[in-house]
Amino acid sequence: MSTPIPTLASAPPDVVRAAYMELVVTDLQASRDFYVDVLGLHVTEEDGDAVYLRSLEEFIHHNLVLRKGPVAAVAAFAYRVRTPEDLDRAVAFYTELGCRVERRAEGFTKGVGDSVRVEDPLGFPYEFFYEVQHVERLTWSYDVHSPGELVRIDHFNQVTPDVPRAVKYMEDLGFRVTEDIQDEAGTTYAAWMRRKPTVHDTAMTGGDGPRMHHVAFATHEKHNIIAICDKLGALRRSDAIERGPGRHGVSNAFYLYLRDPDGHRVEIYTQDYYTGDPDNPVVTWDVHDNQRRDWWGNPVVPSWYTDASPVLDLDGNVQPLTARTDDSEMAVTIGADGFSYTRKDDTEHGFKLGAQL
């Protein structure tokens, strides 16, 4: 049983949204080619060590930093906060939790000012910032729009061994659960949590962690995702597609999962729903329901459950993993002893494409 994370006297910072991720990549040019030439993110600034990218509708300096390094990993999950004073709250909150906290008035990346980075109780490198450099929002620059345009960063997905422990900590940080996956025994396999009024700014997925499962960018419509698939095919890079395109039951989103040159997972995401009412109900899915992960009942590829990116501490070292001891979602649904259903009351199940997984 994991040690509970205490609820604090200190007020948490007021988080507005997931705002950017800092990725360490081993081949900066190959990663730049993937995110700019293939996915169409826009370069705000670059040098020999890093590339700063933003999505179409963004006005802050970047949504993704690609930084050259020896080990492919995540250096920061960064959140925008509502006021400069929220950085003081972040320092107090995480100091009371006993976490390592570092604050830089000049920021940790170009284009971002006074910032706080912490090694949070789950082992993730979180950043909180308010002050940013504004850049041109490209919404009206139709001459640079692509058929598969990525319009904004949407969310992170984090792998952690004890999902209820993670949920309780994130609720103390001010996040709210919108959807989760459970079984009859009450085991929680994943939870989606939000600050902005959509399905999530981050999700907690059960597994050995801390690791980063994926970072997600939104498009306007599902046809934009199909355009990305067509482009990957034309470039003979369709092997970058890990899963999809398809429709999730959880979140209702139309999705595509890609792997970048270092194996970092990127989701392209569209058509989730509004969650901003104070009494927005939590949607709980049965772990054995095929349609939770894929509305069309297609199987999830095993790599989607097993593979994830390491994360770094504030010194740039890879964080060690803690093994999940609760049941694995892969094992209880597609593993040797697992089962799942499309119609819950069916007693016989015929052949289904992918059942051999």
Per-residue pLDDT of the chain (357 residues; tens, 9 = 90+): 578 888 888 899 999 999 999 999 999 999 999 999 999 999 999 999 999 999 999 999 999 999 999 999 999 999 999 999 999 999 999 999 999 999 999 999 999 999 999 999 999 999 999 999 999 999 999 999 999 999 999 999 999 999 999 999 999 999 999 999 999 999 999 999 999 999 999 999 999 999 999 999 999 999 999 999 999 999 999 999 999 999 999 999 999 999 999 999 999 999 999 999 999 999 999 999 989 999 997 778 999 999 999 999 999 999 999 999 999 999 998 776 688 888 888 776 554 444 554
Beta-strand relationship, 211-218 and 265-270: parallel
Q: How many residues does the chain have?
A: 357
- CA-based angle 336:164:4, to the nearest 5? 125
Quick one: pLDDT at residue 334?
Answer: 78
Q: Are 131 and 105 in contact (CB under 8 A)?
A: no
Quick one: pLDDT at residue 354?
Answer: 47
Instruction: Give the C-alpha separation, 168 to 81, whole Å.
Output: 20
Quick one: pLDDT at residue 336?
Answer: 64
How far is residue 90 from each of residues 99, 119, 174, 176, measured CA to CA in Å? 11, 12, 12, 18
Residues 242-267 have pLDDT tens digits of 999 999 999 999 999 999 999 999 99
Residues 6+ apart with CB under 8 A from 311: 73, 74, 75, 123, 124, 125, 210, 211, 212, 318, 319
